[in-house]
Amino acid sequence: MKDRLEALRVEAIEKIKQSHDLKDLQAVKVAYLGKKGPITEVLKGMGKLSAEERPVIGAYANEVRDSIQVELDQKQKELEEAAIAEKLAKETIDVSLPGRPVKKGNAHPLTAVVTEIEDLFLSMGFTIAEGPEVETDYYNFEALNLPKGHPARDMQDSFFITEDILLRTQTSPVQARTMEKHEGQGPVKIISPGKVYRRDNDDATHSHQFMQIEGLVVDQNVRLSDLKGVLETFAKKMFGEDRKIRLRPSFFPFTEPSVEMDISCFKCSGKGCSICKQTGWIEILGAGMVHPNVLEMAGFDSKKFTGFAFGMGPERIAMLKYGIDDIRHFYANDIRFLKQFKNA
C-alpha cells in the first residue's frame, strides 16, 4: 500500500510537472486529490489494514497528499506567474512611439522680453503705467520739452492724424500724464511699456511700429548715481551677473544731463566681436535726469524734486538676447519663428 501511495505521488508529481496550464493542473488536482481520486481510494481501503499499519499508512497518505498539494501550489503559482507574464507580454507597447501632444502655444518673443523686464522692475518696487497710443501733441512733445518747431522733433518723424493728434512716437507721454496725476507730490516710480510709431521705412533695423519701455522715478533727492544703481541691477539681471555698465553723455530733450548706457558685451566679454562691433560695449538704452522744464510743466517744483528717466527698445534687447538679425521677424509672425520661443 505504501508502494502504491509512493507510486501515486511520483505519478502525480510527474503529471503536475507536465501541466501546461491551470486547466491541466486543475485536472491533475481533481484526478489525484479529488474525492474520487486514487488517494481517497487508497484511504478507503485502510479498513483492511492492521491497527499498527493503519496510522502509519494514514500518516503516509497524508504526507503524500500534502506533498502533492505543495507541488500543485508551487506549479499553480508558476503557471499563474507565467500566465500573467504572457498576458503582460502581449500587452507590451512601443514606448519609443511619440506621446499624445498637449496643445500649447506660447508668448510672442517681444511679450516675453517685456514681461521679463516688467517683472524685474516690479521686484524693485516699480508699478506699470499705461496710456493711449493715439496721443495729443501736448503730451507727446510739448510736455516733454519739445515745443513746436524744436529741431529734435525732426529726430522722430511722426504719424500725425490731425495737427494736434498723432500716434505716439515714444512712451514718454505716459510719464508726463503720470506726473501730472501726482500733482506735484512724490514719489513717482513707474515703468511704461507699450507700442510706439514713427515714420520709418520698414527694413532690417527699422520698423514703423515698435515697442518701448520707459522708466521714471521722481522724488526728493533722486541722483544720477541712483540711476546708475538701478540700471546696473537691470543689466545684471537681464544680461548676466558679470555685466559691467558704462554711462556716456548724450542728448535727449526731456533729460539733462542725458546719458546712454552701454553694457560690456555678453558674447565676447569685452574683447571685441561682431555683436559689439569690436568695441566690447553694446548700447542698450538712453536715460538721464528729468529736465527741470518737464518737471515744472507736470506740476513739480524742480528745486525740490529731481528724477531720472530711462527708455529702451524691447526689439533691440530681444534681438541681442536671441541673436535675431532682422526686426521684421517680430511682425511677420511666421509660426516657425514664434514656436522657437517656447522657453523664452
Partner 1 sequence: MLISYNWLKEYVNIEISPSELADKITKSGIEVEMVESLNKGISGVVVGYVQECIQHPNADKLKVCKVDIGQGEISQIVCGAPNVAEGQKVAVAVPGAVLPGNFKIKKAKLRGEESLGMICSLQELGVDTKLVPKEYSSGIFVMPSDAEPGNDALEYLNLNDHVLELGLTPNRADCLNVLGVAYEVAAIIEEEVKLPDTSITATEEKAEDFISVSIESLEDNPYYGAMIIRDVKIGPSPLWMQNRLMASGIRPINNIVDITNYVLLEYGQPLHAFDYNRLGSKEIVVRRATEGEKIQTLDDQDRTLKDTHLVITNGKEPIAVAGVMGGATSEVQDDTTNVLLEAAYFTSGRVRAASKDLGLRSEASSRYEKGIDRNRVYAAAKRAAGLMVELAGGKVADGIVEAGKREVNTYSVKMDVSRMNNLLGTSISSEQTSAIFDRLGFSYKESDGIFEVTVPTRRPDITIEADLIEEVGRIYGYDRIPTTYLLSEARPGGLTASQAKRRRIRSYLEGAGLYQAVTYALTTPEKSTHFSYTEDTVYPISVAHPMSEERSTLRMSLLPQLLEVLQYNQNRSMGDLAVYEMGSVFINRQEILSDLPEEYVFVSGAVTGVFNEHLWQGERKAADFYVLKGILEGLMSELNLSERITYESGGIEHMHPGRTAIVKLDGIPVGFVGQLHPALQKELDLKDTYVFELNATSLINAETEQMVYQTLPRYPSITRDIALVVDQNLPAGDLFTVIQAAGGELLKEVNLFDLYQGEKMEEGKKSLAFSLKYFDPERTLTDEEVVTAHNRVLKSLEEHFGAQLRK
- For Zn ion, the binding residues in 242-271 under the rule CB under 5 A are 265, 267-268
By beta carbon distance, the residue nearest Zn ion is 265
Q: At what angle do helices 2-18 and 22-33 cross, to 10 degrees?
A: 170
- Interface with Zn ion (CB under 5 A), residue total 6
Q: Please name the residue that has the C-alpha cell 533727492.
A: 221
Which CB, 79 or 259, lies closer to partner 1?
Answer: 259
Is 276 a binding residue for Zn ion by CB under 5 A? The answer is yes
141 binds, among partner 1, Zn ion, none (CB under 5 to 8 A by kind): none
Q: How far is the CB of 307 from Zn ion (least distance, A)?
A: 33
3-state SS assignment for residue 303: coil
Residue 142, CB half-sphere, CA atoms under 13 Å: how many? 10
CA distance 294 to 312: 19
344 binds, among Zn ion, partner 1, none (CB under 5 to 8 A by kind): none
2 binds, among Zn ion, partner 1, none (CB under 5 to 8 A by kind): none
265 binds, among Zn ion, partner 1, none (CB under 5 to 8 A by kind): Zn ion
Q: How far is the CB of 64 from partner 1 (least distance, A)?
A: 56
Phi, psi (degrees; rounded to nearest 5) at 64: -65, -45
276 binds, among partner 1, Zn ion, none (CB under 5 to 8 A by kind): Zn ion
268 binds, among Zn ion, partner 1, none (CB under 5 to 8 A by kind): Zn ion
Which CB, 3 or 241, lies closer to Zn ion?
Answer: 241
Other Cβ atoms less than 10 A from the Cβ of 114: the count is 21
54 binds, among partner 1, Zn ion, none (CB under 5 to 8 A by kind): none
Closest C-alpha among 240, 156, 153 to residue 197: 156
Could you tell me how far CA 29 lies from the centroid of its own chain? 63
Q: How far is the CB of 73 from partner 1 (least distance, A)?
A: 43
Which CB, 50 or 221, lies closer to partner 1?
Answer: 221
Q: Is the distance from CB of 253 to CB of 215 less than 8 angstroms?
A: no
Residues paired with residue 180 on neighbouring β-strands, in sequence order? none
Q: How far is the CB of 257 from partner 1 (least distance, A)?
A: 3
Which CB, 29 or 316, lies closer to Zn ion?
Answer: 316
Closest C-alpha among 314, 258, 291 to residue 179: 291
Q: How far is the CB of 248 from Zn ion (least distance, A)?
A: 17
Could you tell me how far CA 205 lies from the centroid of its own chain? 29
Interface pick for Zn ion out of 33, 120, 152, 273 (rule CB under 5 A): 273
Angle at 272 between CA 155 and CA 315, to 5 degrees: 40
Q: How far is the CB of 88 from partner 1 (least distance, A)?
A: 22
Which CB, 322 or 331, lies closer to partner 1?
Answer: 331
CA distance 222 to 310: 14
267 binds, among Zn ion, partner 1, none (CB under 5 to 8 A by kind): Zn ion
Burial degree of 321 (CB within 10 A; 0-12, 13-18, 19+): middle
Q: How far is the CB of 297 from partner 1 (least distance, A)?
A: 14
Other Cβ atoms less than 10 A from the Cβ of 282: the count is 20
For Zn ion, the binding residues (CB under 5 A) are 265, 267-268, 273, 275-276
